[in-house]
Amino acid sequence: MLKYSLPIVDSPDVFSVNKIICIGRNYAEHAREMGHDPDREPPFFFFKPQSALAQNGDVFHYPHFSRHVEHEVELVVAIGKSATKISAADAGNVVFGFAVGLDMTCRDIQKEAKKLGRPWELAKGFDGSAPCTAIQRGTMRDLEQCNALVLTRNGDEVQRGNWRDMVWPIPELIAEVSRYIKLEAGDLIFTGTPAGVGPVQIGDELIARLEGFSQTLKLRITE
């Protein structure tokens, strides 16, 4: 398997990962819990490097430079075709499929960087910070069969949110991102997290799923 790739469900092929694009504050309740105004505002996004990618079943090594790492469960959209300044009406044509991912975040590092007015890539883009399931091929119509994103920590449910409750729906997200950068086959869009983000500890087991979706993400936190 290619170094930066994900399996494709029911296929011998793999999805070669290019850019990892992450959307911020795309669920109103999560915006509130982070202290922000939940009203609809232009979406913002940031990037994780390819080295952030981790496959299902990998262990998550707690970064030695952080004392407060948090989980953020997300629906991931896999892009299958190039697109620049695409319309929301046409955005579904570039969707290859979907996955469930985690945006692991060093919250202490992020808060300190924000306070100092510095970039916070280290808080989001460290190695292994983007665990992801295999890609399930599908269209937006297929996604309609799925419902809530759910994350459990050590068997206790800690996050739940329906992807339909995104502030910016997936077609609009794709269109907005394509205004600024060229989307290409192999790109992943992490579409934001619902409320309930919280800390993880060494020894924890996280299980992330999308109701009605074939893949489940399991992650064990280790030193």
Neighbours of 61 (CB within 10 A): 14
SS3 for 55?
strand
Tell me the pLDDT band of 57, cut-offs 50, 70 and 90.
confident
> Cβ distance 24 to 16 under 8 Å?
no
- Is pTM beyond 0.75? Reply is yes
> Cβ distance 67 to 199 under 8 Å?
no
Segment 178-186 shows an average pLDDT of 97
Amino acid identity of residue 8, one-letter, is I
**CA nearest to 53, candidates 188, 182, 173:** 188
Rg (CA), the chain: 16
Q: What is the pLDDT of residue 28?
A: 73
pLDDT at 39 over 80: no
What secondary structure does DSSP assign to 87-118, as a single string?
Answer: -TTTGGGGEEEEEEEE--EEHHHHHHHHHHT-
pLDDT at 36 over 90: no
Q: What are phi and psi of 115, to 5 degrees?
A: -60, -35
